[in-house]
A and B are shown apart, each in its own frame.
Chain A
Amino acid sequence: MENLIGLLIAAPLLGAVVLLLGGRRLDKAGHWLGTLFAAASFGIGVVLFADLLGRGAEDRTLYEKLYTWIPVEGFQADVAFQLDQLSMTFVLLITGVGTLIHIYSIGYMEHDERRRRFFGYLNLFLAAMLLLVLADNYLLLYVGWEGVGLASYLLIGFWQHKPSAATAAKKAFLVNRVGDMGLSIAIMLLFTTFGTFAFGPVFASVGNATEGKLTAIALMLLLAACGKSAQVPLQSWLGDAMEGPTPVSALIHAATMVTAGVYLIVRSAAVFNGAPDAQLVVTIVGAVTLIFGAIVGCAKDDIKKALAGSTMSQIGYMILAAGLGPVGYVFAIMHLVTHGFFKAGLFLGAGSVMHGMNDEVDMRKYGALRKFMPVTFVTFGLGYLAIIGFPGLSGFFSKDMIIEAAFAKGGTQGWILGGVALLGAGITAFYMTRVMLLTFFGEKRWQPDAAGHEPHPHESPKSMTIPMVILAFGSVFAGAFFEIGERFLKWLEPVTGYEHGNSPVSAMTVTASTMVVLVVGVGIAWSMYGRRPVPVVAPRGSLLTRAARRDLLQDDFNHVVLVRGGEHLTRSLVYVDHSLVDGAVNGTAAAVGGASGRLRKLQNGYARSYAVSMFGGTAILIAATLLMRAV
């Protein structure tokens, strides 16, 4: 069985190699090949999952060591995989949703001449993401970590003829690199502290390290998680990343890659458990992002950017839960999985809408689409109900658990975190209802474009709707399936550990208050966008709205401080290099040149003046010799 783990990664990797090197010959079959490789990986994943289920709960960890990667004195990095319940969960999510999105892309990218390459990149992403969750040490995880970053870079910038896409791709990579810096420092700290960075030995000997060390490691891991999972303060790239094709947004920037930060924290549970201060910081980051993303999501008129804000906010929930320690790890992952279903579904729905609307993304130019796209409407609607936590749907279970766990943190912290999580649920209900109303309800607001083409909204082809239906199915039932008999909890507990938190408020109260904020959120949205017609041109809005449209001015801050500041810094350094460092060198050269220019005048060309200097020199030499002898 162990040997299959390598195959899991090898299949999509092979796909990427074949598709990217295959050349034009494969243009016709490329998308099928890519989908096939993804599906093969999913198939292997299912086989492994069945195998794990057949084992006892304590025996569900498989190892496979391929070879020693970097053997240097005192430093051992292996290419070795570890498959346990946590990895397995991710493998199924990645390959499952991944395969669906491959299928979806066949239709979505049909008219793109570079479709083969798109599928190659998607396969590359799958391979890297699987490597990330299957690695048995931090350095190999780092390879997957940057690998998904690269795939994300390539896919965000897939339409690189658009300068905005190229810029967004670069921005995503750079912001992620700042996070990666955190990961590499964390690995260095692990190495100097433990002499290794393999999961097993590190987690087993965490108890021997001081809390200060663990806190430092945990904070650096958090920095990495912030970069990859678009958490404050490294969240700015996610909104721009929507420049990529919509399937990419669904797979990478909603369902899988952006949740890698959550994986990292849950995987490093042992380290975080030993560093309470770091955990507090994690919860704060989660809580701040949760609200931040939600507010941004409320103001955006671009359907994908609104969903991106929502993603940020939902991952904030997960990070918050992960920061709560053993109380929250399981629920972080559970929300991650359900979120994977409904957010991917929502993005695919958005893609389907754009597909029918000539790639228009402004929701103010939609309206009344439910009549034209019934399947999209229903699947999107189910995803919508799941994300706002409609009772019985998957989001309801997973989010409720997180809110409860937040209250269970205890003391003032518990009340604040719980309150924030509850507030977030209300805002989620508001912005998602807004998206729903603007897109599918009300009057039609689209107009012919400059060239006179009026969009003809139509339902998307089967290859696109089938994945949407499957994902909607998951959005509806996954939560209940996980929750009944606490299946998910029992599955993950051996890896992440679990403690039942003692919440100061009862579970019923939490659920009831969640329902109340939900109704309030939906109600406000209805009163603003449902009751009266929506203007096609966005009104000026309040100060907060305008700030939220600009991502709460975070980008402006980055632009002024980092971009401008950096430009000035580099420009002045170029000047320094040219004028001071090189100037000193050229100055020396000029000084020597000048001096020799003066000396050169002595060479006047008159033989007799040379003779004089010769005689003079000789006379001086003789005089000096005589003088020395005399003394």
Chain B
Amino acid sequence: MNPVNYLYLAALLFTIGAAGVLIRKNAIVLFMCVELMLNACNLAFVAFSRMHGNLDGQIIAFFTMVVAAAEVVVGLAIIVSLFRTRHSASVDDASLMKL
């Protein structure tokens, strides 16, 4: 199969994720959308790796996964503590950290 198709899929997934981040209020959903975008990138990286015949893309994909895992750990902790203090997971409620 033509690897380019994978790229189309990645672009589609990324767009869905981005739209989710922009539209949804719930922090958990937002988070999932971010993950979706990250994984879309991973897919693209692997596809590129295949297309160019070297391993750079795959290595970066691993990096991305590690970062994503770390992000999940920190991010979920924040969301949980936010929910505990405010009884809401809406990101719009946490708008006090501004100048």
A-B interaction? yes
Chain A residues close to B by CB (< 8 Å): 600, 603-608, 611-612, 615
Number of interface residues, chain B, beta carbon within 8 A: 13
Task: Report whether A605 and B98 are in contact in the complex, using a CB–CB cutoff of 8 Å.
Answer: yes
CB-contact partner of A607 in B18, B94, B99, under 8 A: B94
Task: Report whether B97 and A612 are in contact in the complex, using a CB–CB cutoff of 8 Å.
Answer: no
CB-contact partner of B22 in A600, A604, A605, A615, under 8 A: A615
CB-defined contacts of B91 to chain A, threshold 8 Å: 606-608
Q: Assuming A600-B99, A603-B99, is B22 touching A608 (CB within 8 A)?
A: yes
Task: Report whether A605 and B96 are in contact in the complex, using a CB–CB cutoff of 8 Å.
Answer: yes
CB-defined contacts of B97 to chain A, threshold 8 Å: 605
Task: Report whether A606 and B18 are in contact in the complex, using a CB–CB cutoff of 8 Å.
Answer: no
Q: A607-B95, A611-B21 are in contact. List 6 more A-B contacts (CB 8 A).
A: A605-B96, A605-B97, A606-B95, A608-B25, A608-B92, A611-B22
CB-defined contacts of A612 to chain B, threshold 8 Å: 22
Q: Within the assembled complex, what's the spacing in Å between the Cα atoms of A612 and B21?
A: 9
Task: Report whether A604 and B95 are in contact in the complex, using a CB–CB cutoff of 8 Å.
Answer: yes
Q: Within the assembled complex, what's the spacing in Å between the Cα atoms of A615 and B95?
A: 20
CB distance from A595 to the nearest CB of B (A): 14
CB distance from A597 to the nearest CB of B (A): 10
CB-defined contacts of A606 to chain B, threshold 8 Å: 91-92, 95
Task: Report whether A605 and B21 are in contact in the complex, using a CB–CB cutoff of 8 Å.
Answer: no
CB distance from A239 to the nearest CB of B (A): 68
Chain A binding surface SS class? helix
CB distance from A615 to the nearest CB of B (A): 6
CB-defined contacts of B96 to chain A, threshold 8 Å: 605
Q: Within the assembled complex, what's the spacing in Å between the Cα atoms of A600 and B94?
A: 18
Kindly list the 9 A-B residue pairs having the minimum CB-CB distance in the complex, ordered from nearest.
A605-B95, A605-B98, A607-B91, A603-B98, A600-B99, A611-B21, A606-B95, A603-B99, A606-B92
CB distance from A476 to the nearest CB of B (A): 93
Question: Closest residue to B98 on the A side, CB-wise?
Answer: A605
24 contacts between A and B (CB under 8 A): A600-B99, A603-B99, A604-B95, A604-B98, A605-B94, A605-B95, A605-B96, A605-B97, A605-B98, A606-B92, A607-B30, A607-B91, A607-B92, A607-B94, A607-B95, A608-B21, A608-B25, A608-B91, A608-B92, A611-B21, A611-B22, A612-B22, A615-B18, A615-B22
Binary per-residue interface labels of chain B (51-66) against chain A in the complex, 1 for a CB within 8 Å, 0 otherwise:
0000000000000000
Q: Within the assembled complex, what's the spacing in Å between the Cα atoms of A188 and B78?
A: 78
Q: Within the assembled complex, what's the spacing in Å between the Cα atoms of A548 and B95?
A: 84
CB-defined contacts of A600 to chain B, threshold 8 Å: 99
Q: Within the assembled complex, what's the spacing in Å between the Cα atoms of A301 and B59?
A: 109
CB distance from A610 to the nearest CB of B (A): 10
Q: Within the assembled complex, what's the spacing in Å between the Cα atoms of A605 and B92?
A: 8
Binary per-residue interface labels of chain B (65-79) against chain A in the complex, 1 for a CB within 8 Å, 0 otherwise:
000000000000000
Q: Within the assembled complex, what's the spacing in Å between the Cα atoms of A322 and B95?
A: 91
Q: Within the assembled complex, what's the spacing in Å between the Cα atoms of A603 and B99?
A: 7
CB distance from B13 to the nearest CB of A (A): 15
CB-defined contacts of B95 to chain A, threshold 8 Å: 604-607
Question: Closest residue to A611 on the B side, CB-wise?
Answer: B21
CB distance from A611 to the nearest CB of B (A): 5
Q: Within the assembled complex, what's the spacing in Å between the Cα atoms of A603 and B30?
A: 20
Binary per-residue interface labels of chain B (18-54) against chain A in the complex, 1 for a CB within 8 Å, 0 otherwise:
1001100100001000000000000000000000000
CB-defined contacts of B98 to chain A, threshold 8 Å: 603-605
Q: Within the assembled complex, what's the spacing in Å between the Cα atoms of A600 and B99?
A: 7
CB distance from A188 to the nearest CB of B (A): 60
Question: Closest residue to B19 on the A side, CB-wise?
Answer: A615
CB distance from A299 to the nearest CB of B (A): 76
Q: Within the assembled complex, what's the spacing in Å between the Cα atoms of A506 and B99?
A: 100
Q: Within the assembled complex, what's the spacing in Å between the Cα atoms of A27 and B30?
A: 92
CB distance from B94 to the nearest CB of A (A): 7
CB-defined contacts of B22 to chain A, threshold 8 Å: 608, 611-612, 615
Q: Within the assembled complex, what's the spacing in Å between the Cα atoms of A316 and B18?
A: 100
Q: Within the assembled complex, what's the spacing in Å between the Cα atoms of A608 and B33?
A: 12
CB-defined contacts of B99 to chain A, threshold 8 Å: 600, 603
CB distance from B53 to the nearest CB of A (A): 24
CB-defined contacts of A603 to chain B, threshold 8 Å: 98-99
CB distance from B76 to the nearest CB of A (A): 16
CB-defined contacts of A615 to chain B, threshold 8 Å: 18, 22
CB-defined contacts of B30 to chain A, threshold 8 Å: 607-608
CB distance from A208 to the nearest CB of B (A): 76
Q: Within the assembled complex, what's the spacing in Å between the Cα atoms of A216 and B94?
A: 82
CB-defined contacts of B18 to chain A, threshold 8 Å: 615
CB distance from A622 to the nearest CB of B (A): 12
Q: Within the assembled complex, what's the spacing in Å between the Cα atoms of A605 and B95?
A: 4
Q: Within the assembled complex, what's the spacing in Å between the Cα atoms of A598 and B25?
A: 27
Q: Within the assembled complex, what's the spacing in Å between the Cα atoms of A607 and B78?
A: 14
Q: Within the assembled complex, what's the spacing in Å between the Cα atoms of A608 and B94?
A: 11
CB-defined contacts of A607 to chain B, threshold 8 Å: 30, 91-92, 94-95
Q: Within the assembled complex, what's the spacing in Å between the Cα atoms of A238 and B78?
A: 86
CB distance from B28 to the nearest CB of A (A): 14
CB-defined contacts of A608 to chain B, threshold 8 Å: 21-22, 25, 30, 91-92
Q: Within the assembled complex, what's the spacing in Å between the Cα atoms of A608 and B24?
A: 9
CB-defined contacts of B21 to chain A, threshold 8 Å: 608, 611
Q: Within the assembled complex, what's the spacing in Å between the Cα atoms of A607 and B82?
A: 14
CB-defined contacts of B25 to chain A, threshold 8 Å: 608
CB distance from B60 to the nearest CB of A (A): 18
Question: Closest residue to B34 on the A side, CB-wise?
Answer: A611
Q: Within the assembled complex, what's the spacing in Å between the Cα atoms of A612 and B99?
A: 19
CB distance from B44 to the nearest CB of A (A): 14
Q: Within the assembled complex, what's the spacing in Å between the Cα atoms of A370 and B91?
A: 109
CB distance from B7 to the nearest CB of A (A): 15
Q: Within the assembled complex, what's the spacing in Å between the Cα atoms of A608 and B95?
A: 10
Q: Within the assembled complex, what's the spacing in Å between the Cα atoms of A282 and B75?
A: 95
Question: Closest residue to A596 on the B side, CB-wise?
Answer: B99
Q: Within the assembled complex, what's the spacing in Å between the Cα atoms of A606 and B21?
A: 12
Q: Within the assembled complex, what's the spacing in Å between the Cα atoms of A611 and B92?
A: 12
Q: Within the assembled complex, what's the spacing in Å between the Cα atoms of A605 and B96?
A: 6
CB-defined contacts of B94 to chain A, threshold 8 Å: 605, 607
Q: Within the assembled complex, what's the spacing in Å between the Cα atoms of A611 and B99?
A: 18
CB distance from A592 to the nearest CB of B (A): 15
Q: Within the assembled complex, what's the spacing in Å between the Cα atoms of A109 and B25?
A: 96
Question: Closest residue to A612 on the B side, CB-wise?
Answer: B22
Question: Closest residue to A597 on the B side, CB-wise?
Answer: B99
CB distance from A574 to the nearest CB of B (A): 37
Q: Within the assembled complex, what's the spacing in Å between the Cα atoms of A606 and B96?
A: 9
Q: Within the assembled complex, what's the spacing in Å between the Cα atoms of A606 and B30?
A: 13
